[in-house]
Structure 1
């Protein structure tokens, strides 16, 4: 594995050359949205300049070029995550839509018994989920009468598996779990959860919003049934994400939205629908965004996901040590690099995270503050909110030093 040349990488990201409040930009909010390399920006611009047309509708040259680019992006994404076929990749606008698509398939009257859900059935999630992997299941439970249950967390920020066999049982129809926590940085033991789900015949969905951009992910090897992820966190444009699903499950699922391009035939008395993935992509899709995501996948593949993971592990170890040595700072989540990613949430004793974030911004340091759409996790750890620094392939050690200097100023301001 080649080491990541972070200086060379940074030259590809135009935004990293700018200043914020008179200071060099220090972007530590990649868990929220990543910055975009010039190659992705150019791919989107070139599409609009030379190939702009709708897809799957026209026989003219531009329509053919746009369709080939759109489906080519699907093939790139499929290969990137280890899908068996490109037909297992459904383009969505983000992970949230991908998860809702799956939730929509579960009904009391579903033809496939694996998707049939009603009173007495259970859905299992965890206390560390993003709201997008909580609310759809709450709504589904309300619609069907099913019961929502969840894994608790240890004080170290890891899943409490002591009730594994109780929580995932013969009544469980679906286990939906974040692969890599957006607040804690924890990387969950997917193998353990999948093995137990298989024992009881439950399906498994993984929220891969943070994992797919940062670590090598092979959806087939993971053993899950569905994986949701989003382009804007993996160097791609906003407005594009994907659902990977086992084809035979996608083929058993009803359409999510109705409209053009997802139908085989339409009559006034009824309609028939295309096979996946077209069945789930009604209307004009995010074409240029998909092209940009394809370019992002090309970029990540050229750098190498193993190299990115190794770089981020080094950054995380350095940052954890630096924050441990900073007075009044408490890290929320694992304090070592075992089974954790490059996202670190913390509090500064006696100072609200919004104040921390504002002063850091004065220094050019961009972090996220709040509950990070994971309020139950904050409640579990007894904090109203946290400050979160999240790293990526373009992050440097000197930027972590800038964060620590900024925290020293925070403490002086509120001393």
Structure 2
């Protein structure tokens, strides 16, 4: 695919922030793995809610409440259709991926016993490590790690050997936020199910690039944040198979998640409300649906093809810089490049790039075990989105060269 086939110039017009300057330079935004930018279409949906029908949902008989409820539940249906969940009540609105993971971890506290085993991959975000460590501390379950290799790929042979009748849960990200590796989740899910284990997939980094089909994957839980997919912060979704969601106890108590309350006994609401205590991020949920509408209008196949072109070009050009090492060279990866310059701290490179108007992420990217594996303090991470251009890649390469010359000489 060429840029003629993918009208990136027209697409960029949808994102007002891309017109601004930083430190007197045109903004080159390459921190999309942390959060994507928001198109005008989604901004309009947010403004429309607060200007025209701002009201609490599910509880009011008045017109604004009914309208807000309808829009919110329509967004849930959009999410169901996008991820191909079998039933709309299998979609739980959350505050984001971390909330969804903690909801599941909390629920399994009552299902695990001492000596049960849970598996987590070596390339997880901290939000998919710490909750399981806390779960194991509460239950006496044992946490085991699926190792990775130098290329940033999971060692699947070891994974198969770790699985046993003691394995109750397996957790893995669909795509590594630090390395861009696309993990073989179909194989991971199928193997786990053969020993009777449930699987949670962290789809936060995959959702901007891949349209996951939760039924085809046969995954038990799948979690996503809207702000990675051109939506607002503070909202996300947990998909769970109905059978599992019914087994898990409520995560929080409060309004909306109840059927009947007396001082003697409380009964809980049916799905999805059982897990949605309190007033939700109504506007965020509606905007989440608008963001999926926007991205589906562009098309995920077109997005993936264009971003792969950017990845190949950036990898080739950055590799020409002497002393630059890329971490994460998996055969199957998405548009993320983590790198360092020999003898230079990544923070120093990021600081100089910022002076040039180039936004990248530096540090361990909330994936410290990966950095420990490579024996490095962190990396510079450039993450590309469908609104980025080859010219911005050129600006990045020139900026890294300039930083190297300043810091190394």
Instruction: Compute the TM-score of the two structures, normalised by the length of structure 1.
Output: 0.96
Equivalent pair of 1:6/1:394 in contact (CA under 8 Å): yes
C-alpha contact 2:147 2:158 (8 A) present in aligned 1: no
In the other structure, the counterpart of 2:366 is: 373
Question: How far apart, CA to CA, are the structure 1 residues paired with 2:332 and 2:87?
Answer: 29
Computed over aligned residues only, the root mean square deviation of the Cα atoms, in angstroms, reads 1.1
Indicate whether 1:32 and 2:34 are aligned.
Answer: yes
The corresponding residue for 1:126 is 121
Separation (CA, whole Å) in 2 of partners of 1:309 and 1:86:
27
| Shift of residue 331, structure 1, vs aligned partner | 0.4
Q: How far 1:70 moved relative to its partner?
A: 0.6
Counterparts of 2:124 and 2:303, CA distance in 1: 24
Q: Deviations over 1:75-116 (max 9, x none)?
A: 111111111121111000010000000001113xx4xxxxx2
CA distance in 1, matches of 2:404, 2:366: 26
Q: Does 1:211 align with 2:206?
A: yes
| CA distance, structure 1, for counterparts of residue 37 and residue 99 of structure 2 | 22
Question: 2-side partners of 1:3 and 1:229: how far apart?
Answer: 29
Query: Would you say 1:398 and 2:391 are equivalent positions?
Result: yes
Other-structure match for 2:66: 64
Q: 1:328 aligns with which of 323, 327, 333?
A: 323
How do 1:193-342 and structure 2 match up within 5 A? 193-334=188-329, 338-342=331-335
CA contact (8 A) 1:37 1:235 kept: yes
**1:52 and 2:54 aligned:** yes
In the TM superposition, structure 1's runs of 4+ consecutive aligned residues that sit over 2 Å from their partners are 1-4
Q: Deviations over 1:192-226 (max 9, x none)?
A: 11121111000000000010111121111112100
Aligned partners of 1:382, 1:164: CA distance in 2, in Å? 23
Distance in structure 2 (CA, Å) of the matches to 1:81 and 1:73: 12
Counting matched residue pairs gives: 406
The question of whether the paired residues in 2 share the 8 Å contact of 1:4 and 1:303 is answered with: no
Structure 1 segments unaligned to the other structure (5+ residues): 111-115
Residues 1:8 and 2:3 are matched in the alignment: no
Contact 2:34 2:228 in 1 (8 A): yes
Counterpart of 1:189? 184
Once the 2 structures are TM-superposed, how far is the Cα of residue 71 of structure 1 from its aligned partner? Answer: 0.5
Say if 2:343 is the partner of 1:350: yes
Structure 1 residue 124 displacement after superposition: 0.2
Q: CA deviation at 1:291?
A: 1.1
Unpaired runs of 5+ residues, structure 2, are: none
What is the aligned counterpart of 1:382 among 353, 375, 393?
375
Question: Normalised by the size of structure 2, how large is the TM-score?
Answer: 0.98
Counterparts of 2:36 and 2:270, CA distance in 1:
33
**8 Å Cα contact 1:81-1:212 kept in structure 2:** no
Corresponding position of 2:97:
95
Displacement of 1:138 in angstroms is: 0.2
